[in-house]
Amino acid sequence: MNILILQGPNLNLLGLRSSKNNDRLTLDKLNREIRTFSRTQDINIKTFQTHKQFQAINVLQRNRNWADGILFTPTSWGRSDHTILETIKLIDIKTAAIYFDSGYSFGTDAKDSIMIADNIKDFTGAPVEASVKGLEYLLNK
């Protein structure tokens, strides 16, 4: 199975956010945990993090024929980025939207998000746990 991982604005600062919880989770460590889980499940992944909407849309469109699922952490895009939502709806790929709980939140929760569609299901929790839940959903577990 091929999974596209799209990580939104400011996730490169996850270490800064997690340090306030006396945790040392960085984006690199999160991605390592995702790769480790993916190897145990025979998942091929492509990971992309950006702050720029147009780059996110390009990644989604260019990988629409490769990806069987999308693991998407929208951060602030979850509140207002209708163009990314429209793209996810148009390419119609099963998507897990990941939101972090209060200790790691970047300010947008699932309840505040516009990322709602038939092909999108949201998951909330600590970054690693929520991401793994999202991957399990994409695998239909």
| Geometric angle at alpha carbon 105, from 98 and 16, rounded to 5° | 115
18 or 54: whose pLDDT is higher? 54
Q: Name the CATH code of domain 2-138 (choices 3.90.1710.10, 3.40.50.2300, 1.10.3720.10, 3.40.50.9100).
A: 3.40.50.9100
Average pLDDT of the residues of the chain:
95
Write down the H helix ranges in 4-76: 14-19, 27-40, 53-62
Instruction: Output the pTM of the full model.
Output: 0.95
Integer Cα distance of 53 and 19 in angstroms:
27
pLDDT greater at residue 24 or residue 58: 58
